[in-house]
Amino acid sequence: MNSKPYGISHLLHLIPTTAVPRRHNSAAIMSSSEEAQLSSDSLNAAPRLQIYPQKNSGVSPFWREKYEREARRYWDMFYKRHQDKFFKDRHYLDKEWGHYFDGSWQKHVLEVGCGAGNTIYPLIATYPNVFVHACDFSSRAVDLVKTHKDFTENRIDAFVCDLTADDLSQFVPPASVDIVTMIFVLSAVSPEKMPLVLSNIRKVIKPNGRVLLRDYATGDLAQERFTGKDQMISENFYVRGDGTRAFYFSNEFLTNLFQENDFEVEEIGVCCKQVENRSRELLMNRRWVQAVFRASVNVESVSSPSVVEPHCDEIIDHKTQDNRNKLGNDPALMENSEVDISDGIGLDMFGVSSSMDNTVLPVNVSGSHFVIRVLSKEYQHTCKSTGLMLWESARLMASILVRNPAIVSGKRVLELGCGCSGICSMVAAQSANVVVATDGDTKALDLLMLNVSSNLASPLLDKFVVKRLEWGNNSHIEAVKRVSPEDGFDVIIGTDVTYIPEAISPLFSTARQLISAQGHSGKDSQDPGLILCHILRRVDEESILSAASQCGFVLVERWPSESSPPGIISSWFAGNGDEDVVSSALSIMYFRSGH
């Protein structure tokens, strides 16, 4: 009797794939199996025999280009088919990385490849001080985030962005993100475009900010199942049956990728979970890499005088006419540039070349050293913005804070109209609990974020927040309130913010809405409320006091004063001399908020 042969066994071979009717976890480190997206022949499919050709030529050039060109469409189709039912919420983030999200100040998180929001919603439910920027290049995924029952614009900013093509800093302020989460997302990007993603992230992450990553590791079961199939695009890079793609990382590849893009490896490891099919006595490995990367900080010291090129954001400048040194043209700084401010200030405002519009200067404030970038002196007289320079009042107030840290120690500090230097806020960050530096001028804020990131490092940088605040703008005020949701701010500082008559009432009204309840009723005279340091120009003192009174503020003390006995402000100068008072026209007004 002739047995019926398979006939073409010399050309074809049989590969069994099996279901997993019963599973148990034998690994010490656990992960949700639903994390890994499998192709259509997933673990839960019925047992069957599949026939594959012995020779595997991989994906043809035509299809490689098509999968790359239409990557967005394939992921749109994925979310159209699965909606928010495919992945489960990732509650393990709290267990694995909870200490990165903790803190009494607001943490800004960027969720890259947010999908349907499975990372976002566990985060905002667990950490009330977290604000999440969520992006995905699938518009359907972003729609799912926005239609979620827990979506709120107060906690989540969701937007469509392709990190391999779009400029992320158009959606998220530069150098403003504390934590970036990348959960099974970088693997969906072509390996040759991964540096573009990291370069984009570098624009918005703070120096010393962290990237928390979990993704597929080489040797994972899903990768093994691709063996023998014509689904390999390139080494460790495969296309699934639904057109989406997956890359499988080795520790070495991932380490080199991040290090080459100005990140330092803080921790990295491969986790393994074994899934057992007991009926067939098979052990199947699930493997993923878990890592934390830190954005590198390269703060350069002041060198011999030379010209500064416009891309250097690792430096900061102060406007001191007697110390007008400039920083060297360091290629390392140019390489690490995150924000290009060259066109916005010079061409927009004056029509001058970008290399001439700002100056980098060292500044010493009572022993604290800063390097601050400001608008060059030759353009200040034509500049409509007053926030692009360092005023004498800011230098005096910063000196007072250096010598009297108790003013802000352990407190929540808000600076109004800080301009581009942020010098008072940076000094306050040395002892305050949280510091929020605000200004209404976006160009000033661009420079401010560069200055802050160049002068501060963790842990000071971690509790420093930059916000846009136009006085009287309710949406801006509410956004600032969310940074200190407990009870407002204990100390509010303003330097040279009283020069425009029309802005005085909005100034005090905004301060009243943001000052803490303790400022409303506290008895401790050492607990400052609102401190204004200025030179009286277009607005006289009587007008300031009238606007303050209408908003419920009471003047406790002014300096200098010939009639009043020595008080709180006088004690700030005790034993220090007057060497930091750069102008005899400077004055300080100290207000408390009345009942």
The predicted-structure confidence for 59-94, as pLDDT tens digits, reads as follows 888 887 888 888 778 777 876 777 665 566 777 787
Mind giving me the DSSP string for 198-253? Answer: HHHHHHHEEEEEEEEEEEEBTT-HHHHHTTTSTTEEETTEEE-TTS-EEE-B-HHH
We find that the CATH architecture of domain 386-593 is 3-Layer(aba) Sandwich (3.40)
pLDDT digits (tens, 9 = 90+) for 391-415: 889 999 999 999 999 999 999 999 9
pLDDT at 518: 65
Every domain of the chain and the residues it spans: 48-295, 386-593
Query: Judging by DSSP bridges, how do beta strands 48-53 and 107-112 pair with one another?
Result: unpaired
Question: Which segment of 189-203, 209-223, 309-323, 575-589 scores lowest on mean pLDDT?
Answer: 309-323
Least confident of 111-125, 190-204, 318-332, 383-397: 318-332
Q: What does the pLDDT read at residue 38?
A: 39
Among the residue ranges 131-135, 183-187, 358-362, the one predicted with the least confidence is 358-362
Highest mean pLDDT among 276-290, 404-418, 441-455, 486-500: 404-418
CATH classification number, 48-295, choose in 3.40.50.720, 3.40.50.150, 3.40.718.10, 3.50.50.60: 3.40.50.150
Give the residue, 269 or 383, on which the prediction is more confident.
269
Asked if the domains at 48-295 and 386-593 fall in one CATH topology, the answer is: yes
Asked whether the predicted pLDDT for residue 417 surpasses 90, the reply is: yes
Q: What's the token pair of residue 202?
A: 């570098």
Give the pLDDT of residue 317.
29
Contacts of 362 (CB under 8 A, 6+ apart): 302, 318, 323, 325, 369, 370, 371
| pLDDT of amino acid 576 | 58
- Per the structure block, which two tokens stand in for 42? 């997933």
**Spatial separation of the C-alpha atoms in residues 587 and 592, rounded to whole Å:** 17
- Asked if residue 442 has pLDDT above 80, the reply is yes
Question: Using 50, 70 and 90 to split pLDDT, how confident is the model at 201?
Answer: very high
Is residue 297 pLDDT above 90, yes or no?
Answer: no
Weakest-pLDDT range from 202-206, 345-349, 389-393, 555-559: 345-349
- The answer on pLDDT for 582 being more than 70 is no
Instruction: Say whether pLDDT at 129 is over 80.
Output: yes
Q: Which value, to the nearest 10 degrees, does the dihedral of the CA atoms of residues 393, 396, 402, 403 take?
A: -140
User: Per-residue confidence at 340, pLDDT binned at 50, 70, 90?
Assistant: very low
DSSP string spanning 442-497?
A: HHHHHHHHHHHHHH--TTTGGGEEEEE--TT-HHHHHHHHTTSTTT-BSEEEEES-
What is the radius of gyration, based on Cα positions, of the chain? 29
Q: State the pLDDT at residue 540.
A: 87
In angstroms, rounded to a whole number, what is the distance separating the alpha carbons of residues 379 and 360?
Answer: 14
Task: Tabulate helix, strand, coil % of the chain (nearest 5).
Answer: 30, 25, 45
Bridge partners of 557, per DSSP, are 590
